[in-house]
Amino acid sequence: MSWTLVLLAFLALLIALSAMGLYAVNHSQRSFETSVRQVEAGTQQADSASSTMGAIMASVQRVNELMNEIAVASNEQRAGIGEVNTAVGDMDNTTQQNAALVEQASLAASQLQAEAQRLDEAVARFKLADRSQEPASLPSHSVGSLTAEHVPRLAGQTSYAAG
């Protein structure tokens, strides 16, 4: 009987080893399936990260485009401000020229007014005879007998010397 016991023990050992092998295979298969699921999840995360990076790159590109547009607009605005400054300078020059012309016109008007006053005074010196009087009764210095020395100079109010 001893062989029978040894054989039974051997069979029990084989069954136990087979059960352990089966357990190891099942455990390995579950580990492999878990690893496959983790690799698939990692692949999905990598794809998602790739999509996110693509979106980030597109956003960075759009920001660059906006910054370029802002730079162009700033340059255009700078040029426009320069043109406005030039126009304001031109208007200032024109205003100063106009002020000088107004001053000159005012001076000329004052001079003309003074000249008109002198002319009034010069004309007031000559009194025409009343038309009802006879020509013989006119004074000896009548208009017909006036010479250059009797007519005062208008600008300087001096008489011409007869020469």
Digit-by-digit pLDDT tens for the chain (163 residues) are 688 888 888 888 888 888 898 899 999 999 999 999 999 999 999 999 999 999 999 999 999 999 999 999 999 999 999 999 999 999 999 999 999 999 999 999 999 999 999 998 888 887 665 545 444 544 544 444 444 444 444 444 444 444 3
Decide: 126 and 141 in contact? Cβ < 8 Å: no
Is 91 inside a domain boundary?
Answer: yes
pLDDT at site 107: 95
The pLDDT, as a whole number, for residue 126 is 77
Tokens of 139: 């004074």
The answer to whether 152 touches 122, Cβ cutoff 8 Å, is yes
Q: Domains in the chain: how many in total?
A: 1
Domain contains 147: no
Give the Å distances, CA to CA, from 67 to 41, 62, 77, 162. 38, 9, 15, 90
What pLDDT does 8 receive?
Answer: 85
pLDDT, position 127: 62
Give the predicted TM-score (pTM) of the model.
0.44
Query: Is 28 a member of any domain?
Result: yes
* pLDDT at 128 (0 to 100): 63
pLDDT at 94: 96
| Owning domain of residue 23 | 17-98
> In this structure, is residue 124 part of a structural domain?
no
Only one residue has tokens 């000559």, namely: 126
Q: What is the pLDDT of residue 161?
A: 43
90, part of any domain: yes
Residue 5 is assigned to a structural domain of this protein: no
pLDDT at 132: 52
Specify if 154 maps to a domain: no
| 151, 123 contact by CB (below 8 A) | no
Residues whose CB falls within 8 Å of the CB of residue 141, separated by 6 or more in sequence, listed in order: 150
How far CA 10 is from CA of 23, 25, 128, in Å, comes to 20, 22, 173
For tokens 């001096």, the residue is 158
Tell me if 22 is assigned to some domain: yes
